[in-house]
Amino acid sequence: MLTAYDAKWGTQAEIARRFGVSRKCLLDLRRRRRLTGSIGPKAHGGGHPAAFAGTKLERLRQLVREDPGITLEELRQRTGVHCSLAAVHHALVRLDLRLKKRRSMRPNKPGPTE
């Protein structure tokens, strides 16, 4: 699209219409190329850092290895990390660990009746 603009294949409106974009899109691409030298996407802005990384992640692995029946809440308390239970779960998924279901829990469905 910018090649067509640089080659003056038409007005901004005509070039935008030819490529199925708005004139604003063409202007934004020109501005990005002028400021950064590239029309590639912007870098990722970051995001929220993981609650468990490095030694905290290894501590989590150790706790699950010692007690496979430990709950997410107990893991959160024993590691001392201030986070949500979902963050604990996501860390376990990253470690490819699954918590063992406790055998003392009731089954989800009742057995066959006689």
pLDDT digits (tens, 9 = 90+) for 30-82: 999 999 999 998 888 888 888 999 999 999 999 999 998 899 999 999 999 99
* Band of pLDDT at residue 110, cut at 50, 70 and 90: low
Assess whether pLDDT exceeds 70 at residue 105. Answer: no
Provide the angle, in degrees to the nearest 10, between the axes of the packed helices 72-79 and 85-94.
90
Tally of structural domains, the chain: 2
> What's the full length of the chain, in residues?
114
Q: Is 69 helix (H, G, I), strand (E, B) or coil?
A: coil
User: Can you give the pTM of this predicted structure?
Assistant: 0.52
Q: Identify whether 22 is part of a domain.
A: yes
Instruction: Examine residue 108 and state whether it is found in any structural domain, yes or no.
Output: no
On whether both 90 and 60 belong to a single domain, the answer is yes
Query: Do 32 and 59 sit in the same domain of this protein?
Result: no
100: phi then psi, degrees, rounded to nearest 5:
-75, 135
- Asked if 15 and 25 count as a contact pair (C-beta separation under 8 A), the reply is no
Q: Is the pLDDT of residue 106 over 70?
A: no
Find the domain containing 28 and state its range.
2-36
Question: Is residue 113 pLDDT above 70, yes or no?
Answer: no
pLDDT surpassing 60 at residue 114? no
Query: Does 109 reside within a domain?
Result: no
**Tens digit of each residue's pLDDT (9 = 90 or more) over 7-19:** 999 999 999 999 9
Torsion of CA 82, 84, 88, 91, to 10 degrees: -90
H and E: helices and strands count for the chain: 6, 0
Answer positive or negative: Cα dihedral of 13, 38, 43, 96: positive
Question: Is residue 7 one of the residues assigned to a domain?
Answer: yes
CB of 16 within 8 A of CB of 23? Answer: yes
Residue 50 lies in a domain: no
74 within some domain: yes
Tokens encoding 62: 């150790």
The pLDDT of residue 68? 86
